Structure 1
Amino acid sequence: MNPNSAEGRLERLAALPLRENLRGASPYGAPQIDVPVQLNVNENTHPLPAEVRAAILAGVEGTLETLNRYPDREFTTLRAALARYLGHGLDADHLWAANGSNEVLQQILQAFGGPGRTLMSFPPTYSMYPLLAAGTDTRYVAGTRGPDFTLRPDDAAAQVREQAPDVVIVCTPNNPTGTATGLDVIEAVYAATEATRSIVVVDEAYAEFAHTGTASALELLPGRPRLVISRTMSKAFGMAGTRLGYLAAAPEVTDALRLVRLPYHLSAVTQAVALAALVHADALLATVEDIKAQRDRIVTGLDRLGLTPTPSDANFVLFGPLADPTAVWHGLLDAGVIIRDIGLRGRLRVSAGTEAETTAFLDRMVELAAAGVAIPAP
């Protein structure tokens, strides 16, 4: 066997003293294929405005003279800026940030999960949740959703009471389905954890894309010390390369995360970039309405093809069931368009891009439908 082959590397991995719960596991990963239209990982595909690029350059330049020193460990200025952006009466003590919302969630599990404890979420949902559980040696419990991918307050609460998890994550708008979860569900789930004193995390990574009038769980924070709202600058802000996720919670939750975070975990450069972006939040978020329009355009276009898109409050659309989703995925790739096969039977997910990118996707779908490739499952 070639030691450098995939099989050889797996054999060498198996020989290491790996934790038992990681044996046979697969890492997170979406295909990274360089094609003209990349609509597979829910990025904001609009380029940064010139004024924002200039502000970021100036902010980074301001850090250069002190790069030989550790950054502000408490990133106090950034936390205050994030609090101002969120509003709802929050201040810096309520905010925490890390290198992407995945690290935020990992720190939550490091503090409140771990051996002998459980994490519960409601698949189909973000595929990183069980991976984060495995990485922190937290047992993962999968709840269920309705056939339309929604959660009902009574059903979600009953599942939580039955499983009594230590941490619950509700993703809204949910990835990969795009469905929003009402505040009544969050209230019911939180109430169901009173006996176990569980942490309830609401992952609002796509909150800025929700339809007008959709309420944020930030409204529920007062009086709920175990409620955590997770956000990111990767999506609506178009800052995926910055790796800046954050949360809002009671100050004692952020105190708990200080016990597990690595020293100086946010670099001076990351803090400078995020601060510049927040100063120019209006310019960055100006693309959100266009993305929402393209999302709704995708829903309309796929509906005309009879492909049953799921109503979405995010910057992506789930559609299907398809007769042959693999053939559709490859048919799009052949035309230079990549979308996501998220492993949900018969369904694919496409991000809403620019008008030109959305047009390229929809035009190719029309071609594939005419060729008998993009057709509904019988």
Structure 2
Amino acid sequence: MTDLTLPDTLPTPEKCALTLGYVPLIDAAPLIVARENGYFDDCGLDVSLSREASWASIRDKLQLGLLDAAQIPAGIPLAAAFGIGYGQRPLVCSMSLGLNGNAITVSRELHAQLSRRAEFSATPAGTGAALKGHLRDNPEATLTVATVYTHSMHSFLLHYWLDACCIDRSRIREVVVPPPQMVDTMHRGLIDAFCAGEPWNSAARDRGVGEVLVSGYQIWRNAPDKVLGSTADWAAEHPASLQLLIMALLRACAWLDDPDNREAMLALLRRPEYLGEGLMQPDPDIGRHRFFGAAANFPWLSQARWLLEQIQHGQPPRHPAEIDALARQTYRSDIFRQAGAALGLNLPLTESKPEGVHEHDWTVEGSQGPLSLPGDRLFDRPALEPPN
């Protein structure tokens, strides 16, 4: 386990009593662990956690100042930079809360139909080929697929997979369903498939409602997902509070990344005030969560640019310089660097990296020497380097 020691002297927070929002998912664990393990207390913060029903609720409460900060999909602050969504206050991402965590789950009936097809294999290409063939053989069929938010990694992974497999998106009717409602919505026959974070894919399978078709990790290995978000105004007015918040969350992420702590993490998440007993036993091979290490918490500008490119589909085209400026004003690596340096982290010397092209682990230059990063290839992309 990585032991992150707080510096001897901590800044004085401008505001000690903070309210953080979260949606009940495995990747809310950094907030929950930081509170229950006393990491917020160690930083002089009195943190209350507010369980929210949907990402729209968190977005709106951030805009209204009802939340100080929150766990949010990475696309929300970037969509706000485009002027999309409720409210006009710019949002910033000051930290990634980890990598991976999502999957595409289909109803048991649809899975049975797809798995019987000759094209089917348990890969993104094989499942995509089976779905394409199914739609070709059923020309009147339209599938209803739920995602958790329009501008979330769930939607972008779904779209990437469909497009890479040459599936006509006009045959897919997309709807938005909050993560905790996915399983019941599928059970009622209102959706044929959904893309959501864990534990809701495992829950659908364990309750006999659906089967995981393909994981987000299979589509894009070690993809970004949730971030720590706040309004830009709040971040500017509370720099010390935000630094302390990031330090506490980094300590929680380091604790979570230790496999020996998995059962303790699940015990915390199963508590009724967090995810509850409905969590059951999520399959770690579905989520493949990575909470810490390998710069998993660094807010990469290259990831912000990739997300902005997805968000601008269907929007008036933006000049690349404007995309870069929006990425820089939203993904605040300068804020993260200050907190990470205080904890002695090896931080990347660059703000950007090639995305989605590495088959194997690779390295970048870090503040304390070479920094190992994990393979991150998108399933249909050629690898940047030959295998070792």
Greater Rg, structure 1 or structure 2?
1
Same fold (TM > 0.5) = no
TM range (shorter): under 0.3
TM-score (norm. length: structure 2): 0.27
State the structure with bigger RCO (CA 8 A, min sep 6), 1 or 2: 2
TM-score (norm. length: structure 1): 0.28
